[in-house]
Amino acid sequence: MSATEQATDAAASVSGTTSETVQLANGLSCDVPADSPLAKLLRSQRSWVGPDAKARLRLLREAKSIAIVGASPNPARSSYFVGTYLQQSSDYRVYFVNPNADTILGQKAYPDLASLPEVPDIVDVFRRGSDIPAVIDDVVAIGAPTIWVQLGIWNQDAALYGESKGLTVVMDRCIKIEHARFHGGLHLLGFDTGQITARKTIR
């Protein structure tokens, strides 16, 4: 044990707290008291990075079917908007998963992933971040290769968990936006470039 580790353990013993190793965004790690404000701050920082733009483009081009978990029949919900786009602007076979709906956008709604007539290439998820690990278990159970967690939803531990189960994980990205910009259909500031940019603004 190094002198630094001994000092950390000693400090923890004196204060009665335990230490934990936190991963930094630059790939390094450090030991800090588990209940300290610094530990909480570092845990909140994003260090996981999913597939880059080229990899996401490949996922969307190779996929033939998409299941939307958390799809809603409410036109005001973002999942309804995304479902409408995928139905009208893509060639995907789109499935809606919602145990509380019979139909969504004129199609049968399924109670769970296991009830789908085929294994989807991508499972697009509109659920709370805390629900993602359970959805990952369902995705793994049916043998789907990719889970795509929608824009605004983030659970880094779940992302790492999904990858440990062999899944390709995309998180905090809108599949509608990604598909539209890769296919020249995204209008920003009133214009459409119709091309993929290599600028660093695309993560």
Output the pLDDT for position 31. 77
Output the pLDDT for position 80. 97
Domain ranges of the chain: 3-44, 53-182
Output the pLDDT for position 35. 79
Output the pLDDT for position 36. 79
The b/e string for 64-87 (b: 16+ C-beta within 10 A; e otherwise) is: ebbbbbbbbbeeeebbbebbebbe
Q: Indicate the burial class of 98 (C-beta count within 10 angstroms; 0-12, 13-18, 19 or more).
A: buried
Whole-angstrom distance between the N-terminal and C-terminal Cα of the chain? 39
Output the pLDDT for position 136. 98
Alpha-carbon gap, residue 42 to 203, rounded angstroms: 22
Regarding beta strands 107-110 and 103-104, do their DSSP bridges make them parallel or antiparallel, or are they unpaired?
A: antiparallel
Tell the CATH topology of 53-182: Rossmann fold (3.40.50)
Give the pLDDT of the chain (203 residues) as one tens digit per residue. Answer: 544 444 444 444 444 567 766 655 555 567 778 777 776 666 667 789 899 999 999 999 999 999 999 999 999 999 999 999 999 999 999 999 999 999 999 999 999 999 999 999 999 999 999 999 999 999 999 999 999 999 999 999 999 999 999 999 999 999 999 999 877 655 443 334 444 444 444 44
Q: What angle do CA 71, 73, 78 make, to 5 degrees?
A: 55
147 contact partners, CB below 8 Å, separation of at least 6: 122, 123, 125, 132, 135, 136, 139, 162, 167, 168, 169, 170
Output the pLDDT for position 198. 44
Alpha-carbon gap, residue 33 to 21, rounded angstroms: 9
Output the pLDDT for position 23. 56
E strand residue ranges, 39-92 = 65-69
